[in-house]
Amino acid sequence: MAVAANAAEVVEALAVEFEQESGHRVTVTVGSTGKLYAQILHGAPFDIFLAADQERPRLLVEQGLAVEDSRRTYAVGRLVLWSPDPAVAVDGEVLRGGSFRRLALANPDLAPYGAAARETLQELGLWENLRPKIVVGENVGQAFAMAASGNAELGFVSLASALSPRHGREGSYWEIPEHLHTPIRQDSVLLDRARNNQAARDFHEFLNTPRARETIESFGLESRY
């Protein structure tokens, strides 16, 4: 499976559940949605694509590289502004004040969370003023790493990243109001090579089960069907 960076942890958990239930083995490759899409176009051997947007899965269906009618929304992501310091009161005023050296975000041209971050700053009228302070990661995971390491004081990341126990940091965050950016609807799609792969089809159906939806929501993603 090709999996968008923001969904890596939840998909790893889902894969374990699926493997225990089915006996199949799942291999996960993580990256930015744009980069994974480009790899699929160039023949990368994936069976399922779990993107962080709707556009790339739609394009793959239109281009005949994915199974028609297999595209569905498996999650809706939430964008947050995150600080590794739990004492920092993170909100829109922190951005307006500009009293920070660096602001991390994912590449807006490759990663939907980066595009949402750019939209947010544009809606707040801060994009041009803050551009000199922006540092860009390939995906939302790299943006989080920049903030967690101290290379940026703040980062636009996924709520799933902010809530993850893996980094061992409580931090503080501000959930970006949904009206400030296009909803981050994340679609999955069966790729053409999976037409006769029953294991891939079974996993894709597993994503739509109550058990899978409960797991998805436990990782800070909304499960909407």
Kindly list the domain boundaries of the chain, sorted by start residue: 2-76+183-218, 78-180
Q: What is the pLDDT of residues 59-108, one digit of tens each?
A: 999 999 999 999 999 999 999 999 999 988 899 999 999 899 999 999 99
The structure's pTM equals: 0.84
Give 12-36 pLDDT, tens digit per residue. 999 999 999 999 999 999 998 999 9
Is the fold of 2-76+183-218 the same as that of 78-180?
yes
Label residue 223 by pLDDT band (50, 70, 90).
Answer: confident
Distance (Å, whole) CA 151 – CA 144 = 10
Q: What is the pLDDT of residue 110?
A: 86
pLDDT per residue as tens digits for the range 116-166: 999 999 999 999 999 999 999 988 989 999 999 999 999 999 998 888 877
- Nearest to residue 153, comparing CAs of 71, 213, 194, 94? 94
Q: How far apart are CA 56 and CA 186, in angstroms?
A: 10
Q: How confident is the model at residue 224 (pLDDT cuts 50, 70, 90)?
A: low
Distance CA 130, CA 154 (A): 12
Whether 225 shows a pLDDT value over 60: the answer reads no
Strands 48-50 and 184-190: antiparallel
Domain 2-76+183-218 adopts which CATH fold? D-Maltodextrin-Binding Protein; domain 2 (3.40.190)
Find the length of the chain.
225
pLDDT of residue 89: 86
pLDDT digits (tens, 9 = 90+) for 166-177: 766 679 999 999
CA 37 from centre of chain:
14
Pick among 3.20.20.10, 3.40.190.10, 3.30.365.10, 3.30.930.10: CATH of 78-180: 3.40.190.10
- Strand 172-175 vs strand 2-4: parallel, antiparallel, or unpaired? unpaired
Could you tell me which of 14, 38, 35, 9 has the C-alpha nearest to residue 26? 14
